[in-house]
Structure 1
Amino acid sequence: MKSIKAIAAAIVVSTSASVYADPMIIQEWSFINEAGFANFTATNKPANATNEPTLSGDSADGGTSILSGGSLPDNLCWGDPVGNSTQQSCLSINSQVTSESTQSWNENGVFEDINDGAPQGNVQTVAIDGDYTGAFKQGTAIRHENFPITGQFLDTVTIQDGLRLQATMPEGLQVNAPELSFLVDFWETPNRGVEGDGTCPFGPTAGTPGSVNEKGCSDLFQVIGFEGGASGLNILAAGPDFIDFSVKFKVTGVDASMYHRDYELITRLSGLDVAFDGLGFATSERGVNVLNAEFAVRAIDAPEPSTLAIFAASLLALSGFTRRKAK
């Protein structure tokens, strides 16, 4: 009888402790989002080429960088302008973006207000399994100025992207979300098609009104790393003009019995036609293209070490009672 009472007591302690130890989700974060170009590769420079690709700019805007390797260039231009044009093809990133930012690029690459001119505000954490689509905050965006060029072409470019979160409660808690490194495989397609017959690698034939190929075959870039593996990226959803992916992170430096520590960073890339079966994008010729990036933070369900320890202790106690009863 005493053994039965002891077992019941152990179960009660285990159950009640797990109930009262339910940790609080960290609800709100201010943030800094920074991105830049880590490196690139280009075709061997043809004999008649004038320009080599050039990097410029500062991802930290002259301030303190949050990237692990320090600030990076946020502008990359390449190619020789065609005819009387002076325009190269360029990739640019509007870095840094913070919770205090008031503007971002619109679809034409022009800065416009994102919150009626007021700061966009802090990130609000989405509950476990909650709908994240209404919780996005504006992050860095990429602009592709796509113009006809000759000479040396861009082949690949690596984009380094970092996010620093500062919790409003507990005060002073600072978290760096996993720094993401994206290898972009860039395809500078011939405007009249690979065979010169107007057939484009993506979409309808060159010159089709209202299409991404209206002014010539669109250029393409594939983002290497969306398929997971070592990167830990997980595609959540995709459509004709957006891709949602997530990466998990754990908050350290807090009491696990008080604060929930497991979250995911969800990023939405949007604004361009999705290509490569949902792993890349197409950019139209003779104009400016903007790939917008927004992000949200969502709590994820994970067992807390404190709760596991309580159950482990209870199981050990039950094991001891069982052994004594057997004797």
Structure 2
Amino acid sequence: MKKLNLIAAATVLTASTSAYADPVLIEQWSFINEAGFSNWTTVGSGTNSLEASGDSSDGGTSILSTGALPDNLCWGDPVNANNDQSCLSINSPVSNETTQSWDEDGMMVDINGGAPQGNAMTVAIGGDYTTAFKQGTAVRHNNFPITGEMLDTVSIRDGLRLEAVAPEGVVVNAPELEFMVDFWETPNGGLDADGTCPFGPPSRTPGSVNENGCSDIFKIVGFDGAGDLNIVDSGEGFIDFSVKFTVTGVDASEYHRNYELITRLSGLDVTFDDEGVGFVTRENGVNILNAQFAVRAIDAPEPSTLAVFAVSLLGLAGFSRRKFK
């Protein structure tokens, strides 16, 4: 009978352990997002060599593992009325104190009525993250007709540092991502006599993405540093992907430690193939690939009820042996 009573007590202990209050979410984060270019290669030759400039940290302390990187690349010999080169630029850094970002025409506009955009708010497990996006860095392509040396490949390194409002002093460096990009400076007149373009209708088709000539393609062919990067959602003009991270330095019994960072890239036509995901940039104009992010809590692995029950029985077994002695 006593043995049965002890087993019953273990069952009660297991039930009470399972019913213990869940750790609370870390609800607010201040942040800084920084990104820059590295490891670029070119093809062809001409008067102008590719030039890198700018500072991804804007003269401050970089959060990137590499230190600050260039955030502007320009290349090519202009063959357009405005005598413009093609350029890739990143609006970096961006933080919770940022008040402006590029609109679809490449103009700096207010993103929160002129006030700082504010802290990132954590979305509950399974919640709608699309209501919680904060503005991150954005990539701009000034796409103009050129000849000569052209960008071929480039890497974009992106880092995000989160600091919890409460508990104070908790700082998280989200997984630093390095995107490998294959850049296709397409022939404006098309790939053949019919004006076929790699994406969309033939070159010079009125009202299309190729109205001013075949659009260039900015294709992400790989990434590094994230572990598991998952595509959460995609549609016409956007793609959402997530990476997981764990908060350290907090008591797991008090604070939830498992989260995911969801990033939305939008603003350009999206194309998929076996090699990766591409973003289409219109010829003879400014193109903006916008980036926003949200933080969402995710379930953490938990010990099974059977495992907790077994630990309880082992504790009782030790008690029995001590009593016998």
- CA, structure 1 residues 151+83, in 2 after alignment: closer, same or farther (shift >3 Å)? same
Do the aligned residues in 1 keep the contact of 2:80 with 2:144 (CA within 8 Å)? no
Do the aligned residues in 2 keep the contact of 1:89 with 1:145 (CA within 8 Å)? yes
Matches of 2:88 and 2:227, distance apart in 1? 24
Matches of 1:8 and 1:177, distance apart in 2? 45
Do the aligned residues in 1 keep the contact of 2:268 with 2:280 (CA within 8 Å)? yes
- List alignment gaps of at least 5 residues for structure 1: none
SS at match of 2:239: strand
* 1:252 lines up with 2:248 in the alignment: yes
* 1:3 lines up with 2:3 in the alignment: yes
Count, aligned residues: 317
How far off its partner does 1:83 sit? 5.3
Matches of 2:308 and 2:142, distance apart in 1? 62
Q: Which moved more, 1:120-129 or 1:275-284?
A: 275-284
Match in the other structure for 2:323: none
Cα deviation, 1:19-50, whole Å, max 9, x if unaligned, reads 2252111111010000000220111x43xx10
Do the aligned residues in 1 keep the contact of 2:181 with 2:222 (CA within 8 Å)? no
Match in the other structure for 2:310: 315
* 1:76 lines up with 2:79 in the alignment: no
Match in the other structure for 2:125: 128
How far off its partner does 1:313 sit? 5.2
Do the aligned residues in 1 keep the contact of 2:175 with 2:225 (CA within 8 Å)? no
- CA, structure 1 residues 275+13, in 2 after alignment: closer, same or farther (shift >3 Å)? same
SS at match of 1:63: coil
Match in the other structure for 1:294: 292
Q: Which moved more, 1:279-288 or 1:313-322?
A: 313-322
Match in the other structure for 1:243: 239
How far off its partner does 1:280 sit? 1.4
One-letter amino acid of the structure 2 residue matched with residue 294 of structure 1: Q
Matches of 1:310 and 1:12, distance apart in 2? 12
- CA, structure 1 residues 83+243, in 2 after alignment: closer, same or farther (shift >3 Å)? closer
Matches of 1:193 and 1:74, distance apart in 2? 30
How far off its partner does 1:196 sit? 3.9
1:131-142 paired onto structure 2 within 5 Å? 131-142=128-139
Do the aligned residues in 2 keep the contact of 1:128 with 1:298 (CA within 8 Å)? yes
Matches of 1:133 and 1:120, distance apart in 2? 16
SS at match of 2:17: helix
Match in the other structure for 1:272: 268
2:200 to 193, 203, 208: 203
One-letter amino acid of the structure 2 residue matched with residue 264 of structure 1: E
How far off its partner does 1:320 sit? 7.7
- List alignment gaps of at least 5 residues for structure 2: 321-325
Q: Percent identity?
A: 67
* 1:262 lines up with 2:239 in the alignment: no
Do the aligned residues in 2 keep the contact of 1:17 with 1:310 (CA within 8 Å)? no
* 1:119 lines up with 2:111 in the alignment: no
Matches of 2:84 and 2:176, distance apart in 1? 33
Matches of 1:235 and 1:35, distance apart in 2? 21
Do the aligned residues in 2 keep the contact of 1:225 with 1:233 (CA within 8 Å)? no
Match in the other structure for 1:33: 33
What value does the CA root-mean-square deviation take over the aligned residues?
2.1
One-letter amino acid of the structure 1 residue matched with residue 299 of structure 2: D
2:147 to 130, 147, 150: 150
SS at match of 1:225: strand
SS at match of 1:42: strand
How far off its partner does 1:231 sit? 4.1
How far off its partner does 1:217 sit? 0.3
One-letter amino acid of the structure 1 residue matched with residue 12 of structure 2: V
Match in the other structure for 2:156: 159
Matches of 1:225 and 1:19, distance apart in 2? 44
Matches of 1:110 and 1:117, distance apart in 2? 14
How far off its partner does 1:18 sit? 2.9
SS at match of 2:114: coil
Cα deviation, 1:110-151, whole Å, max 9, x if unaligned, reads 100000101111111011011111110000000000000000
